[in-house]
Amino acid sequence: MQKNTENRMIIAKIMNRLSMGLLISLLGMGAATAQKKTSMEEPLGDDATLIIERNVMVPMRDGVKLATDIYRIEGAKPAPVLVARTPYGKNDLWFADWKRYVKAGYVLVCQDVRGRYASEGDFRPHFNETADGVDCFAWVVAQPWCDGNIGTFGGSYLGGTQWLPARENPAPLKAMVPEITFSDMYEGNTHPGGVKVLHDLRWAADIVHDVVRRKRDAGETVPQTSELPDETTVLDALPVGGHPMIARYAPFYREWLDHPEAGAYWDSISPSNGYRNITVPALNISGWYDIFIWGTLQNYRGMKENGGSEIARNNQKLIIGPWVHTSAYSGKFPERDFGLGADSLDLDEIRLRWYDRWLKDIDNGIDKEDPVMIFVMGIDKWRTEKDWPLSDTRYEEFYLHSDGHANTSGGNGTLSLSKQAGEEPADIYVYDPMNPVPSIGGQVILPGANTAGPRDQQEVERREDVLVYSTPILEKPVEVTGNVSLRLFVSSNAPDTDFSAKLVDVFPDGRAMILTNGILRARYRNGFDRYELMEKGHVYELDINLLATSNVFLPGHRIRLEISSSNYPQFARNSNTGGCIADEEAEAYRKATNRIHHTAEYPSRLILPIIER
């Protein structure tokens, strides 16, 4: 336990710097000029000497050279190599206890991706990672210290740099450990429910600072720091894509805004578009409050069903804890502590067993164990499963009811297994994009500490533009484990608007703790590859993906659903005009009066995956 605690402290320091790849101040601290190749030695124990080679410039197929660090034991025979490719600075290895991997007989290679830190070229997120990853693997396998077998590691963006080259089926690649990472780049990353996530905007603002620094150090004339975007204020600026420095120095963000629908642009950089070509086992790790929880689950399921080889289809592993994207796999939060078990896993040991099995052909049994390990919140325990979704899942529908006054937690909205018998008045609220519902917890990355994960929603539930539907107090436990969805019948006086929702566990003391959330832009109700505006007053049926969770609602608790039309700044606000939101000034934004219908004809309902054992 002491070793695990030390590891978690080290990981926390690294992740506080890296923010798992999205909100890191370190982005603006990279080296802007090429660094000299260096080599150093240090004792590793048992008479072994660690050799660290830094800034080895590895050529890509187009001649651009990428800075690469190598960690290996002097004089050791050729060994399997673990590779990570990162935009966050190769000096910080993903593994907290990285020497443990070297001692276990692996060479570690960490590379700055194109256009970042000590590497040459221009940074265009994701688009160069397929070819550059394949070229990196080809260089590694040609080195005398490599035995021909490559595994990969890392999370968030570093997960993408594993999946994307794997789509090319490079022969040396034998195993992956992608963590807290994406699958479908559109719905699973940049546009969940067709709505732009705004942590990408803060990410782009950070990128700008580093690009400017690199250009300044190269002798170019660049803007003053005061002219650059401030990541703490850029979210509030309108239009969403309007900051001139982002347009100039992070043009990829404008590219993303110019592709608001799903399609070939996003498919070209989506792991999910290439499962059929990926032939290696993968250990997938994520958290219930990770921004990429849906991507991790999609990668696991997609590879099981469509992987490019039998060994890949039969050897996908999944670990999901009560974790957020940036917390070093800790289960401790200010308003909820999941106990010592939440962060007791020795992930280094699990990863090493995975690599040993597939890179060294050691029959250690990890491929014969249950492939799924999940942390069940509520009872706060780990449990293994045969697959995901769980084979004994029973989907149960909880119908929305009210007398037309579900507004706030003091309203009369209820959830019931009984269908609506006849006419019930619609619940009405006004969504004002200039006064959006604030994001509090959930699968988010927001400025400041303790903003993600299980947070109390009581403040949000006091707002008139939030509808609240709750079950009676539970007399027996109810386990909800799996994908959560919401079927809503809605109408609006606006040509387009958003509908957001949260699944909440209400404690006996009144705490309303968010479990998971989702959103849908109404114009994409019939598909993310096209848009269709709404007719005023017409009732539409929407399917909203509330991602997934695993939670036991204990006796004395209540199951709660919140509905609104915003969750900001997790998601960009809808202007309600039906226009191009990326370019609309604040003056164009308008209020929308939205209705949730729940009658026999329009049976709005929450669909929960129930487990009874």
Task: Give the 3-state secondary structure percentages of the chain, helix then strand then coil, rounded to 5.
Answer: 25, 30, 45
What amino acid is encoded at 237 in this protein?
A
Q: Which residue has the tokens 């992608």?
A: 178
Choice among 199, 209, 325, 597 that is catalytic: 325
What tokens were used for 275? Answer: 């499962």
Measure the CA–CA gap between 262 and 188, rounded to whole angstroms: 11
Asked about 465 being catalytic, the answer comes back as no
What tokens were used for 449? Answer: 């500490």
What tokens were used for 538? Answer: 């017409």
Q: Dihedrals φ, ψ of 591, to 5°?
A: -80, 155
Measure the CA–CA gap between 564 and 124, rounded to whole angstroms: 35
Measure the CA–CA gap between 515 and 258, rounded to whole angstroms: 32
Task: Determine contact, residues 106/82, Cβ cutoff 8 Å.
Answer: yes
Asked about 25 being catalytic, the answer comes back as no
Task: Determine contact, residues 541/522, Cβ cutoff 8 Å.
Answer: no
HSE-CB at 63 with a 13 A cutoff on CA atoms is 0
In this structure, the chain runs to a length of 613
SS3 282: strand
500 strand-pairing partners: 519, 564
Cα–Cα separations (whole angstroms), residue 517 to 122, 211, 490: 36, 34, 18
Task: Determine contact, residues 135/165, Cβ cutoff 8 Å.
Answer: no
Torsion sign across C-alpha atoms 323, 325, 330, 334: negative
Task: Determine contact, residues 320/375, Cβ cutoff 8 Å.
Answer: yes
List the one residue out of 88, 251, 268 whose CA is nearest residue 186. Answer: 268
The neighbour count for residue 591, using CB atoms within 10 Å, is 16
Choice among 119, 156, 183, 270 that is catalytic: 156
SS3 16: helix
Task: Tell me the three-class secondary structure of 68-137, residue by residue.
Answer: EEEEEECCCCCEEEEEEEECCCCCCCCCCCHHHHHHCCCEEEEEECCCCCCCCCCCCCCCCHHHHHHHHH
Asked about 156 being catalytic, the answer comes back as yes
Show the CA angle centred on residue 474, arms to residues 471 and 479, nearest 5°: 95
SS3 149: strand
Choice among 69, 112, 290, 505 that is catalytic: 290
Catalytic residues: 156, 290, 325
